């Protein structure tokens, strides 16, 4: 209940998602069954950015592992602050075979072992493929262009 103009008012009638309240704008807990999330004495219909919903309570994402947004757990990242997202982990640099594009680790194109800047900019090729592939002009190709030869030891 809340006191307004000398009258007791049921918190549930305020339509701000409160189970209990101390004023018309300050909640003690939220109605999480109806989807409300509690943060700093307020109830939200959507979990604020930088937090995840833990049974109706907004819990901060773990910024020590660079999580900007998270889901289910504080360290289960869905976006990173400064690093690149690889699965649900923030990494820098991206692992071999991936390149960071818009803060997300993206798999290099076919036959690239490593790439840079964009996923189709190969810097090395996957070894021991059949047929063999060779790096030429930032692409991994099966036959070398005119006036070049396939160097088996360096690919």
Taking only the tens place, the pLDDT of each residue in 62-100 is 999 999 999 999 999 999 999 999 999 999 999 989 999
pLDDT for residue 11: 78
Cα 2 to Cα 17: distance, rounded to the nearest angstrom: 14
77-80 and 67-70: which strand pairing? antiparallel
pLDDT for residue 4: 54
Cα 15 to Cα 24: distance, rounded to the nearest angstrom: 10
Phi-psi region of 63 (alpha: psi -120 to 50; beta: other; left: phi over 0): alpha
Q: Which residues does residue 20 pair with via DSSP β-bridges, in sequence order?
A: 29
**pLDDT value at 1 more than 70:** no
Cα 80 to Cα 100: distance, rounded to the nearest angstrom: 12
Taking only the tens place, the pLDDT of each residue in 27-60 is 888 888 888 999 999 999 999 999 999 989 999 9
pTM of the model as a whole: 0.75
Q: How far is CA 119 from the centre of its chain?
A: 19
pLDDT for residue 9: 79
Percent of the chain with pLDDT over 90: 45
What is the sign of the dihedral through the CA atoms of 19, 24, 27 and 32? positive
> 15 versus 119: which is more confidently predicted?
119
**pLDDT value at 2 more than 70:** no
The residue whose two tokens read 């800047």 is 117
Taking only the tens place, the pLDDT of each residue in 129-145 is 888 888 888 888 888 77
pLDDT for residue 32: 83
């Amino acid at each position: 209940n809340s006191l307004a103009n000398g009258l007791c008012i049921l918190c549930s009638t305020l339509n701000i998602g409160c189970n209990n309240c101390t004023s018309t704008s300050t909640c003690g807990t939220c109605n999480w069954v109806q989807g409300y999330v509690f943060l700093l004495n307020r109830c939200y219909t959507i979990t604020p950015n930088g937090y995840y919903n833990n049974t109706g309570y907004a819990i901060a994402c773990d910024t020590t592992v660079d999580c900007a947004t998270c889901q289910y757990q504080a360290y289960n990242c869905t976006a990173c602050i400064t690093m690149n997202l690889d699965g649900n982990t923030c990494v820098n640099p991206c692992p071999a075979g991936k390149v960071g594009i818009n803060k997300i680790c993206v798999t290099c194109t076919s036959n690239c072992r490593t790439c840079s800047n964009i996923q189709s900019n190969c810097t090395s090729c996957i070894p021991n493929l059949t047929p063999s592939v060779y790096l030429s002009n930032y692409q991994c190709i099966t036959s070398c262009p005119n006036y070049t030869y396939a160097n088996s030891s360096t690919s």
